[in-house]
Amino acid sequence: MAQAWAVLAALLFLLINLVEGPAYNVVSVEIGHEAVLRCPYISEMSLLMVIWKKNCRACCLLAYRSDHNETRKSNCSERMMWKYSPDSDPALRIYPVNFGDEGNYTCEIVNSAGNFLLFSSLTAIVPPTVTLTFDKSKGAVCQASAGKPAADISWIPASNHSTEEEVHHPNGTVTRVSYTGWVNSTLSTVTCLVTHPATNQTLSLDLSYTSPELLCILIGGSASVAAVIGVTLCLIFKCRAFRFRKSAHQSALPLATKNFRSTPSCEKTDAVKPPVLLESIYQNYRPGMIQ
């Protein structure tokens, strides 16, 4: 008899699980995207009522009653609504998701078979901004900024000298920084692997362009090239200025000679002396000589 009751209890427990489904659901959604929370709805049974609520004081409550064909909404954002018609699929839709939407939600279904509950946990995730740089004192630096949750950072090839730092921001995001410690490494390339629920990224850095010797050579070479270009430009402009002055001098020389030669002719023209002749005439004139 005891064995029969045990078998009956096991069958009943199995039947309840098959009908109700899982009692807890975990949902992770990227910030700005859509979140859909499901209810343990059983389509074969007539729906009497469905209630969505967030488990906190004065939080959102969304309800539908089929016998009155009535929908109620209390303390809910406009971003929270039914995904479909509640009498066909009473899933809750939140779009776009922000940090304030995180928390635990409860969906309660009432039908002819009884009451069914499903608990959901919503977590907002944020993909980090990933950068890979080189520092003279710390070596290669891989940084995953403002991610939620914190990103995991690994290196290729693996380094036993890598260190990590974390900065926690007020909005719940985390910045994680990893240093390889390969300052004087002979490696030509290092790769940073960033793993996160929202994104996976791989960045590579060519260490041959980050050595201090090469930087000095590049800087010196740049300065030498700039000096040569500067001297060349000065010589070009100087030569052009010299040619311009020479050309101007040669073009101005005939004009000055012409003016110089024309000066005597002008003086001769102006040197015609009719007044002198008249004066001599008047000087030699004697009234008595005219009869």
Residue 264 lies in a domain: yes
- Higher model confidence: residue 169 or residue 87? 169
Kindly state the average pLDDT of the residues 116-128: 94
130-149 pLDDT, tens per residue?
A: 999 988 888 899 999 999 99
- For the chain, the average pLDDT equals 74
Q: What are phi and psi of 193, to 5 degrees?
A: -110, 125
Helix (H) / strand (E) element for 30: namely strand 24-30
Whether residue 76 is found in the same domain as residue 115: yes
Whether residue 28 is found in the same domain as residue 67: yes
Whether residue 152 is found in the same domain as residue 90: no
CB neighbourhood size of 194 (10 A):
24
Of 89-98, 102-111, 250-259, the one with minimum mean pLDDT is: 250-259
Residue 282 lies in a domain: no
Residue with the two structure tokens 């209890």: 9
Whether residue 148 is found in the same domain as residue 199: yes
Q: How many domains does the chain have?
A: 3
Q: Which of 207, 226, 248 is the last residue of a domain?
A: 207
Residue 285 lies in a domain: no
Residue 11 lies in a domain: no
Whether residue 29 is found in the same domain as residue 110: yes
Residue 159 lies in a domain: yes
Residue 47 lies in a domain: yes
Q: How far is CA 76 from CA 56, 72, 81, 93, 121, in A?
A: 12, 10, 8, 12, 17
186-236 pLDDT, tens per residue?
A: 778 889 999 999 999 999 988 776 554 434 333 344 444 455 455 455 556
pLDDT band for 239, please (50, 70, 90 cuts). low
Q: What are phi and psi of 220, to 5 degrees?
A: -60, -45
Among 143, 134, 131, 135, CA closest to 177: 143
Range(s) of the domain holding residue 114? 20-125
- Higher model confidence: residue 291 or residue 230? 230
Q: How far is CA 139 from CA 136, 159, 190, 219, 256, in A?
A: 6, 12, 10, 20, 75
Q: What is the pLDDT of residue 31?
A: 95
Q: What is the pLDDT of residue 272?
A: 44
255-289 pLDDT, tens per residue?
A: 433 443 434 443 444 444 444 444 444 444 444 44
7-40 pLDDT, tens per residue?
A: 343 344 334 444 444 468 999 999 999 999 998 7
C-beta separation of 196 from 151 below 8 A = yes
Kindly state the average pLDDT of the residues 112-128: 92
Whether residue 181 is found in the same domain as residue 234: no
CATH number for 188: 2.60.40.10
Q: Which of 61, 92, 125 is the last residue of a domain?
A: 125
